[in-house]
Amino acid sequence: MRALTYHGTKDVRVDTVADPEIINPRDAVIKVTSTAICGSDLHLYDGVIPGTLSGDILGHEFMGEVVEVGQKSTLKKGQRVVVPFTISCGKCYFCEKQQFSACDNANPAEKQDMTEQLYGHAVGGLFGYSHLTGGFSGGQAEYVRVPYSDVGPIVVPDHLEDDKVLFLSDILPTGWMAADNADIENGDTVAIWGCGPVGLFCIQSALRMGAERVIAIDHYPRRLELARQAGAEVIDFKQTNVTEALMEMTGGIGPDAVIDAVGMESHGFSLGDQAQAFNLADTIKQTVGIGADRGGALREAIFACRKGGRLSMPGVYGGFLDKFPLGALMEKGIQVKTGQTHVQRYLKELLQLIKEQKIDTTFMISHRLPLEEAPRGYKNFKDNQNDWTKVVLKPGV
């Protein structure tokens, strides 16, 4: 089959590789009809997540048709399914608590050592997201082996086209959980850093959950425009000092909840701005490769958050962060919630909202490319963020 494989920093190619097979009884094999490039893939593309090897198939947002099932799979050949990017056994303590991305059993035993040393505990399994999360072959391919297929994939009705349901695999539940984690109360003002696909879904979700106002921050006009379209007021951080603006826009209170939908590769380091300035040091460390995260947006979010407010962090981090405003976090009594999304927890509810046309899941798609052109998709989603807001790939075209 054809698949998008990693060859090194900013070097991904479409190669011919062996087709996947059923290995365990609960497996299924999916023929991919649509798959997307995610902001998380850019962290791999940029080489800031360790444990990605040459030849690894990337991609964790995908859907398709069931073509093979193991004897314990509950799926049937021919069914159309969306597959969560989190691989979860459904039976361990965490899965039973609906903390699916913390599953104890999906990440293979021999791969668990790395994160056990890095984080104190082994993390769960993810598709196409380095050997830290299991080394599972990803979905930017013609076929994917899907473990625990009786727990993850959700069957979608034929009348909903791919574009409408594809993002159930990750960014839609990610934006939803981020808003959920912000514990939004009626009348709240929520500030969201990053107007990429995740940030945009955060805006939509926060408003649905009762936020009075959402203020979204980015520096790309096109993305800020989309944020506005989703119902947010916007701040361009290249144009305006963000913390100051947020204070003034909230009568000196600050946002009740702040959401970091940027993650470890925060842009910008305006030197006049304390929270952002350290981002420069982070960048240099990341460039020389010593496991440092770049946390400009996160620092700014903590600075801006009101006393007793809440910080929700869907943005991905992998290592260590210096100059973390721990004092601000503690002294202001800010609550923190974060994590890889527990996708399976939200699927039914979100599919229902899509069916009832209560949420728009397609407005950020800017490009649809054949899988063969995936490398061009990566390059532009990375270098041309203003116009390339979300890329959907079609295998076999």
Partner 1 sequence: MLKQYEHWQRTGRNDPLPRFALFAAAGTAIALLAFAAKPLLTSSSAERRREFDDDAPRRLSREGEGSPAFVGKSVLINRPRAELYDFWRDFKYLPRFMENIRAVEVNGDVSTWTFAAPAGQTVTAEVEVIEDRRNERIAWKSTPQSQIATKGAIDFRDASAGRGTYVDALVEYTPPACAVGRAVADLFRREPHVQARHDMKRFKMLMEAGEVSTSRRTRHDS
Interface residue list for ligand NAD (CB under 6 A): 38-40, 42-43, 170-171, 174, 193-199, 217-220, 223, 237, 261-263, 266-268, 296-297, 314-316, 340-341, 385
- Phi/psi for 156 (5° steps) reads -115, 145
* Residue 23 interacts with, from ligand NAD, partner 1, Zn ion, none (CB under 5-8 Å by kind): partner 1
Q: Which is nearer to ligand NAD, 2 or 299 (CB)?
A: 299
Cα 130 from chain centroid?
15
Q: Which is nearer to partner 1, 130 or 341 (CB)?
A: 130
How far apart (Å, rounded) are the C-alpha atoms in residues 144 and 325? 42
How far apart (Å, rounded) are the C-alpha atoms in residues 268 and 255? 22
User: Which of 252, 288, 330, 356 is close enough to bind partner 1 by CB under 8 A?
Assistant: 288
Output Rg (C-alpha) for the chain, integer angstroms.
20
Cβ partners under 8 Å of residue 242, min gap 6 = 217, 235, 273, 300, 304
Q: Which is nearer to partner 1, 61 or 273 (CB)?
A: 273
Per-residue x/- marks for partner 1, 137-166, CB under 8 A? Answer: x-------x-xx------------------
Q: Which pairing describes strands 310-313 and 257-260: parallel, antiparallel, or unpaired? A: parallel
Reduced to 3 states (helix: H, G, I; strand: E, B; else coil), residue 35 is: strand
238 binds partner 1 (CB under 8 A): no
- Maximum distance among all Cα pairs of the chain, rounded to whole angstroms: 62
- Phi/psi for 217 (5° steps) reads -125, 130
How far apart (Å, rounded) are the C-alpha atoms in residues 24 and 31? 18
Q: Taking a C-beta distance cutoff of 8 angstroms, is the pair 206, 182 a contact?
A: yes
Nearest to 278 by CA among 291, 293, 257, 259: 293
25 binds partner 1 (CB under 8 A): yes
Q: How far is the CB of 224 from partner 1 (least distance, A)?
A: 19
Which contiguous run of DSSP H or E holds residue 258?
strand 257-260
User: Which of 247, 249, 280, 359 is close enough to bind partner 1 by CB under 8 A?
Assistant: 280
* Residue 385 interacts with, from ligand NAD, Zn ion, partner 1, none (CB under 5-8 Å by kind): ligand NAD
18 binds partner 1 (CB under 8 A): yes
* Residue 312 interacts with, from Zn ion, ligand NAD, partner 1, none (CB under 5-8 Å by kind): none
Q: How far is the CB of 324 from ligand NAD (least distance, A)?
A: 15
Which contiguous run of DSSP H or E holds residue 37?
strand 28-37
| Stretch 275-304 residues interacting with Zn ion (CB under 5 A) | none
92 binds partner 1 (CB under 8 A): yes
What proportions of the chain, in percent to the nearest 5, are helix, strand and coil? Answer: 35, 20, 45
Q: Which is nearer to Zn ion, 343 or 354 (CB)?
A: 343
Q: Which is nearer to partner 1, 110 or 158 (CB)?
A: 110
How far apart (Å, rounded) are the C-alpha atoms in residues 201 and 297? 18
User: Which of 51, 125, 175, 197 is close enough to bind partner 1 by CB under 8 A?
Assistant: 125
How far apart (Å, rounded) are the C-alpha atoms in residues 305 and 72? 48
Per-residue x/- marks for Zn ion, 153-182, CB under 5 A? Answer: -----------------x------------
Select the span of 102-110, 136-144, 265-273, 311-319 touching Zn ion (CB under 5 A).
Answer: 102-110
For 92, 158, 255, 268, 290, the CA distances from 61, given in Å and listed in that order, are: 24, 19, 31, 28, 29
298: which 2 tokens? 């996160």
Q: Which is nearer to partner 1, 87 or 166 (CB)?
A: 87
Q: Which is nearer to ligand NAD, 1 or 198 (CB)?
A: 198
Select the span of 178-186, 207-215, 269-277, 347-355 touching partner 1 (CB under 8 A).
Answer: 269-277
Amino acid residing at 9: T
Kindly list the residues in this chain that would bind Zn ion in the complex (CB under 5 A): 38, 40, 88-89, 92, 95, 103, 105, 170
Kindly list the residues in this chain that would bind partner 1 in the complex (CB under 8 A): 9, 18-21, 23-26, 46, 57, 72, 89-93, 96, 104-113, 125, 134-137, 145, 147-148, 267, 269-271, 277, 280-281, 283-288, 290, 292, 320, 322, 383
